A and B are shown apart, each in its own frame.
Chain A
Amino acid sequence: MTTTPPPPQAFQKAQPGEVDGGSAPGLTKPKERKLSRAEKRAIAVKGKISSPWASGIALLIAVLWTVPTFGLLVTSFRPAPDIRRTGWWTAFGNPDFTLENYSEVLFGGASFANYVVNTIVITIPAVLIPISLALLAAYAFAWIDFRGRDVLFVAVFALQIVPIQITLIPLLSQYVQWGLAGSYWVVWLSHTIFALPLAVFLLHNFMKDIPPSLVEAARVDGAGHVKIFFQVLLPLLVPAIAAFAIFQFLWVWNDLLVALVFSGGTADVAPLTVRLGELAGQRGETWHLLSSGAFVTIIVPLIVFLALQRYFVRGLLAGSVKG
């Protein structure tokens, strides 16, 4: 995941009844009238760019987007000599598939299994911690009155634009001073820091949408901020939390830069992406390892993504769905 979700307000115009740009030349507004279902369907069919050409282009794009991954997937199951000798598309003529590559890349010299553990150990806290912190901050920005609130919020919002590159060297020298460089602690800490501005911003937007009357009612009942946060808001925010959790999960699992700089690149801390990058940088044809290694790296996010696609899309569109 390299694309941060766009800020929710940006889609507000894309809501029903609020589109302004639709005034094509020579168009007149039709008189309001109800259409029967059959008429609607007829319109829907007629107006579409539905020609053999259109279907052909759609199919072509779909193939273009699928074939590269598919080719590598097929390759990862082929015996190493075959991979060197022939293209993967010939594998269907005389099928000869094996799991050898996977067992070699996981438990052989490349020891990907070890790096799978590292990636998991890095990812779980690097998702949980920033979300918890951001939830608290978002709550403060949304529901606690204090001086300078707006200024602070804009400042946090603005920090989203800081490219992480600009922070890496000073952070690294600080970590070296602490004697913590190349440990999990600084990887967790860095991922947390880099996630916070976007997390605070997104969760704040979701929090703002909760009816104030709910919070007021709880306050009248004598509940403090902590109680309101845990008992009133948190349960309502589960979908928002899930959406952001998926972003952060994909971001951390797929990250290369932070891991390269802070994990020290050792087998003790470095995640899968670093190992795969190393393997890709080596000379010689190791495609049997690269292909299987790539899929070891890809498979978990792929499953998470497919299983939680709805949440992901909802997060991406956050704001366009809501009022």
Chain B
Amino acid sequence: MDFISNIGAWLEYLTRDLRTWLTDATTPGHKLALMVVAVLLFVVVMGAILFAVDKPKRIPNWVVTAGFLGPVLLFLTFGLVYPGVRTVYASFFNRNGQEFIGIDNYVRAFTQPEFQIVLRNTALWVILVPLLSTLFGLVYAVLVDRTRFERFAKTLMFLPMSISLVGASVIWRFMYEYRALLRDAEGNPTRQQTGLLNQILVWFGQEPQQFLLNSPWNTFFLIVVMVWIQSGFAMTILSAAIKAIPDDIVEAARLDGLTGMKMFRYITVPSIRPALVVVLTTIAMATLKVFDIVRTMTGGNFNTSVVANEFYSQSFRQGNAGLGAALATILFVLVIPLVVYNVRQMRLSEEIR
């Protein structure tokens, strides 16, 4: 008996050790080793599943299907469907999830002045970012199309897409950097600006501005960051669409004397309309969910918060689970019309085919 209980103790000790090793990696070597173990574990498990179902004919079809599809369905049910339903459910409860309060959270989100500002900001973002990004992307795509520098020029606008939103926010915060203007006796500035935009204002004899503090304009300066990132995406898609406009249409228009702006207005834009719709809706969807920019640049202060950011602060800072859930649900509901429109456009363009 002694022997057996010893083994039990050993096993317990081992599993505890293993558990610690698997969850508490602190040194770089340990972390990398853990990563390798995780990947290997994944490969072994998937390999075992595939090996088990790899017996042609002797194994019923549904087992094979389950082997291929099972993990994904399991993950999606566990990680998206179930939590989504739980959150919608939780949005009808109070801040600690104990008491059912009906639609109070929604009423609050739509009626309280602070949240109305959040909704207004979100609307501004969702309207302006897609429009401006598409405009810049389209104009730029047309202007650099078939020039000698096309590839290089496109890369320039494209690059911000690889930058994290946090990184982009830091980049732009530096552009907006503000320092109070101090003057000496003769009225010459004694202190230099370190932010380029304020320096430009000073060069033109203006007062430097606190771009990120002054509401409501600060929201527009945050929107600039997202436009800066998304324009590259719009430009890429639209450029490809422009290149796909059949030559005979362009030639016909030219023979009819269309040039420059008219060509752009009557040929280019109508020809790439489906691509335009996709770009607009895709960017709108991405914009709805963005919270990194607001969080990094203003922390949601000075009336700049948006729904995605407010969700985060209500859920994880203020500890108001019910309201956070309601905001997440609002976010979800707002995405739906965009998706429906996108899908309908896709259907339409397929029917035309």
Query: Which residues of chain A have a CB within 8 Å of any CB of chain B?
Result: 1-4, 6-7, 9-30, 32, 35, 40, 43-44, 46-49, 51, 54-55, 57-58, 61-62, 65-69, 71-72, 75, 83-90, 114, 117-118, 120-121, 124-125, 128-129, 132-134, 136-137, 139-141, 144-146, 152, 156, 159, 161-171, 174, 179-180, 183-185, 188-190, 192-194, 196-197, 200, 222-227, 229, 250, 253-257, 260-261, 268, 273, 276-277, 280-281, 287, 290-291, 293-294, 297-298, 301-302, 304-306, 309, 313, 316-317, 320
Structural contact, B161 and A305, CB atoms closer than 8 A? yes
Residues on A with beta carbons closer than 8 Å to the beta carbon of B35: 120-121, 124-125, 184
Structural contact, B259 and A46, CB atoms closer than 8 A? yes
Q: Return the chain A residue nearest B53 by Cβ.
A: A226
Instruction: Indicate if B119 sits at the interface (CB-CB under 8 A).
Output: no
Instruction: Indicate if B346 sits at the interface (CB-CB under 8 A).
Output: yes
Structural contact, B272 and A114, CB atoms closer than 8 A? no
Distance (whole angstroms) from the CB of B208 to the closest CB of chain A: 12
Mark B324-353 against chain A: 1 for CB-CB distance below 8 A, else 0: 110111011001100100100110011011
Structural contact, A256 and B165, CB atoms closer than 8 A? yes
Distance (whole angstroms) from the CB of A27 to the closest CB of chain B: 6
Measured CA separation A7–B342 after assembly (Å) = 9
Structural contact, B160 and A309, CB atoms closer than 8 A? no
* Listed A/B pairs (23) with beta-carbon separation below 8 Å: A6-B279, A11-B237, A12-B349, A16-B246, A22-B246, A24-B266, A24-B270, A29-B252, A88-B196, A120-B35, A121-B34, A134-B72, A146-B62, A146-B65, A161-B332, A184-B34, A193-B78, A194-B79, A226-B51, A261-B316, A277-B166, A287-B177, A305-B159
Structural contact, A161 and B87, CB atoms closer than 8 A? no
Pick from A1, A171, A183: contact of B79, CB below 8 A.
A171
A133-B75 contact, Cβ under 8 Å, with A47-B250, A68-B172, A277-B296: yes
Residues on B with beta carbons closer than 8 Å to the beta carbon of A320: 240-241, 244
Residues on B with beta carbons closer than 8 Å to the beta carbon of A88: 194, 196
Instruction: Indicate if B124 sits at the interface (CB-CB under 8 A).
Output: no
Mark B282-294 against chain A: 1 for CB-CB distance below 8 A, else 0: 1101101111100
Residues on B with beta carbons closer than 8 Å to the beta carbon of A132: 42, 46
Structural contact, A27 and B253, CB atoms closer than 8 A? yes
Structural contact, B173 and A280, CB atoms closer than 8 A? yes
Measured CA separation A184–B41 after assembly (Å) = 14
Distance (whole angstroms) from the CB of A28 to the closest CB of chain B: 7
Distance (whole angstroms) from the CB of A168 to the closest CB of chain B: 7
Distance (whole angstroms) from the CB of B36 to the closest CB of chain A: 9
Measured CA separation A48–B260 after assembly (Å) = 6
Structural contact, B157 and A61, CB atoms closer than 8 A? yes
| For the complex of A and B, 9 pairs with smallest distance between CB atoms | A193-B79, A254-B164, A224-B56, A24-B266, A21-B270, A305-B162, A170-B83, A167-B83, A140-B68
Distance (whole angstroms) from the CB of B151 to the closest CB of chain A: 9
Instruction: Indicate if B139 sits at the interface (CB-CB under 8 A).
Output: yes
Structural contact, A62 and B76, CB atoms closer than 8 A? no
Instruction: Indicate if B216 sits at the interface (CB-CB under 8 A).
Output: no
Structural contact, B315 and A43, CB atoms closer than 8 A? no
Instruction: Indicate if B134 sits at the interface (CB-CB under 8 A).
Output: no
A291-B65 contact, Cβ under 8 Å, with A1-B162, A280-B166: no
Measured CA separation A3–B246 after assembly (Å) = 28
Structural contact, A14 and B264, CB atoms closer than 8 A? no
Pick from B56, B90, B143, B237: contact of A49, CB below 8 A.
B143
Instruction: Indicate if B254 sits at the interface (CB-CB under 8 A).
Output: yes
Give 13 new A-B contacts, CB below 8 A, not counting A65-B156, A167-B79.
Answer: A9-B349, A11-B241, A29-B252, A68-B196, A71-B196, A87-B195, A161-B285, A162-B80, A165-B311, A168-B83, A257-B292, A280-B173, A298-B167
Structural contact, B164 and A165, CB atoms closer than 8 A? no
Q: Return the chain A residue nearest B329 by Cβ.
A: A166
Measured CA separation A69–B177 after assembly (Å) = 14
Structural contact, B28 and A62, CB atoms closer than 8 A? no
Looking at A13, A171, A253, which has the most chain B CB atoms within 10 Å of its CB?
A13
Measured CA separation A118–B233 after assembly (Å) = 29
A136-B84 contact, Cβ under 8 Å, with A68-B172, A193-B76: no
Measured CA separation A125–B250 after assembly (Å) = 48
Measured CA separation A30–B140 after assembly (Å) = 29
Structural contact, A9 and B31, CB atoms closer than 8 A? no
Q: Return the chain B residue nearest A199 by Cβ.
A: B72
Instruction: Indicate if B95 sits at the interface (CB-CB under 8 A).
Output: no
Residues on B with beta carbons closer than 8 Å to the beta carbon of A20: 352
